[in-house]
């Protein structure tokens, strides 16, 4: 009888393990504020490419990814490249999909973590902290990574890419897009996060996607979240913001839906590339709410049997 018990025990443990339900976590305003406050601190001096500040920022992101259980996609988290004579590096994390077939398809969640360093001196302050641009977007990618690494429910593989040298002409995203294209990865879609730190006051949606009419991404996000979360910004169309952030190199290389989610089209934020783009200008309750509402859309993207988000207009 004792021998029979020990034979059955592994089966019982296996059955128990398979029925364990992982409870979702909620991203809090403090989660977001902690990340933005670190990256946009005066100590990092505006996170310009090639500086000690951006090196420290990259190390911070790497440490957080490791704590979340997000693995490096390459041998290390850093994807190194050159900007003229400057050493630059994206930070790239990875969650492998749990479906034998779908794990070969990739979703990239991206944001740039660099900024311009210094700006015009105003009242003794010349550090362009870049809280909204784009510590805010970086915090969105990092907290979504935290959530998804906790849940482990993604069938497709997800890459978390924090780009450097965006402010120097989308250099980091261009480098990574070309590198991944050479690897021939099967990229399903790329979702970029840019300036998500302040809400709109006069819209019936909470954020917009650039290149709204180029794919059905907005429609699908709204369907996945059962809301009117994403809308179309005429200001974004006017200034062609689709081509001005890190989604664009992925569109050029892969010709798949590659778009930026933002809650700022310059009509509701006065501190673009300004030394007053500081932590105290951001609405962290709004940011946490937007991230929590976006997460179900990312989960659905990673788990649908087919690629439902498609280019609609070349």
CATH assignment at residue 283: 3.40.630.10
Q: How many domains does the chain have?
A: 1
Spatial distance between the Cα atoms of 192 and 134, rounded to a whole number of angstroms: 11
HEC string of 254-297 equals HCCCEEEEECCCCCCCCCCCCCCCCHHHCCHHHHHHHHHHHHHH
Please give the structure tokens belonging to residue 281: 């200008």
pLDDT at res. 3: 53
**Does residue 314 belong to any structural domain of this protein?**
no
Do the strands 258-262 and 186-193 form a parallel or antiparallel pair, or are they unpaired?
parallel
**Does residue 8 belong to any structural domain of this protein?**
no
pLDDT at res. 21: 87
DSSP 92-119: EEEE--SSTTGGGEEEEEEEE----EEE
Spatial distance between the Cα atoms of 177 and 248, rounded to a whole number of angstroms: 10
pLDDT at res. 288: 98
DSSP the chain: -HHHHHHHHHHHHHHHHHTPPPPP----HHHHHHHHHHHTSGGGTT--TTSHHHHHHHHHHHHHHHHHTPEESSSSSEEEEEETTEEEEEEEEEE--SSTTGGGEEEEEEEE----EEEEEETTEEEE--IIIIIHHHHHHHHHHHHHHHH---SSEEEEEEES-GGGTSHHHHHHHHHHHHHT-EEEEEEEE---SS--SS-SSSEEETTGGGBSHHHHHHHHHTS--EE--HHHHHTTGGGSSTTHHHHHHH-S-EEEEES--SSS-S-TTSTT--GGG--HHHHHHHHHHHHHHHHHHHH-SS----B---
pLDDT at res. 5: 46
Q: Which domain holds residue 199?
A: 25-303
**Does residue 5 belong to any structural domain of this protein?**
no
pLDDT at res. 313: 67
pLDDT at res. 17: 46
Task: Write out the chain's pLDDT in tens, 314 residues.
Answer: 555 545 554 544 554 445 678 999 999 999 999 999 999 999 999 999 999 999 999 999 999 999 999 999 999 999 999 999 999 999 999 999 999 999 999 999 999 999 999 999 999 999 999 999 999 999 999 999 999 999 999 999 999 999 999 999 999 999 999 999 999 999 999 999 999 999 999 899 999 999 999 999 999 999 999 999 999 999 999 999 999 999 999 999 999 999 999 999 989 999 999 999 999 999 999 999 999 999 999 999 999 999 999 999 65
**Does residue 224 belong to any structural domain of this protein?**
yes
**Does residue 20 belong to any structural domain of this protein?**
no
**Does residue 12 belong to any structural domain of this protein?**
no
* Predicted TM-score (pTM) of this structure: 0.93
pLDDT at res. 100: 98
**Does residue 6 belong to any structural domain of this protein?**
no
CB 301 within 8 A of CB 188: yes
**Does residue 136 belong to any structural domain of this protein?**
yes
Spatial distance between the Cα atoms of 236 and 267, rounded to a whole number of angstroms: 10
């Amino acid at each position: 009888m004792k021998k029979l018990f020990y034979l059955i025990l592994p089966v019982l443990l296996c059955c128990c393990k398979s029925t364990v339900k992982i409870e979702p976590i909620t991203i809090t305003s403090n989660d977001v504020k902690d990340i933005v406050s670190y990256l946009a601190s005066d100590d990092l001096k505006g996170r310009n490419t090639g500086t000690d500040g951006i090196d420290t920022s990259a190390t911070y992101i790497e440490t957080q990814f490791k704590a979340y259980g997000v693995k490096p996609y390459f041998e290390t988290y850093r994807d190194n490249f050159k900007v003229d004579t400057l050493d630059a590096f994206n930070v790239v994390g990875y969650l492998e999909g749990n479906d034998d077939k779908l794990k070969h398809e990739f979703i990239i969640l991206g944001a740039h973590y660099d900024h311009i360093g210094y700006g015009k001196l105003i009242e003794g302050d010349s550090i362009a902290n870049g809280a909204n641009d784009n510590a805010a977007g970086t915090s969105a990618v990092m907290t979504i990574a935290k959530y998804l690494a906790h849940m482990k429910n993604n069938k497709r593989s997800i890459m978390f890419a924090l780009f450097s040298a965006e402010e120097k002409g989308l250099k980091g995203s261009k480098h990574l897009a070309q590198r991944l294209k050479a690897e021939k990865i099967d990229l399903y879609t790329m979702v970029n996060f840019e300036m998500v730190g302040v809400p709109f006051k006069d819209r019936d949606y909470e954020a917009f996607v650039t290149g709204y009419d180029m794919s059905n991404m907005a429609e699908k996000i709204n369907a996945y979240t059962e809301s009117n979360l994403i809308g179309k910004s005429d200001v974004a169309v006017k200034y062609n913001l689709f081509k001005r952030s890190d989604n664009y190199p992925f569109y050029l290389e892969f010709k798949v839906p590659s778009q930026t989610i933002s809650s700022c089209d310059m009509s509701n934020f006065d501190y673009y590339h300004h030394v007053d783009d500081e932590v105290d200008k951001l609405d962290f309750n709004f940011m946490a709410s937007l991230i929590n509402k976006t997460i179900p859309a990312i989960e659905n993207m990673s788990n649908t049997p087919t690629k439902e988000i498609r280019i609609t207009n070349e």
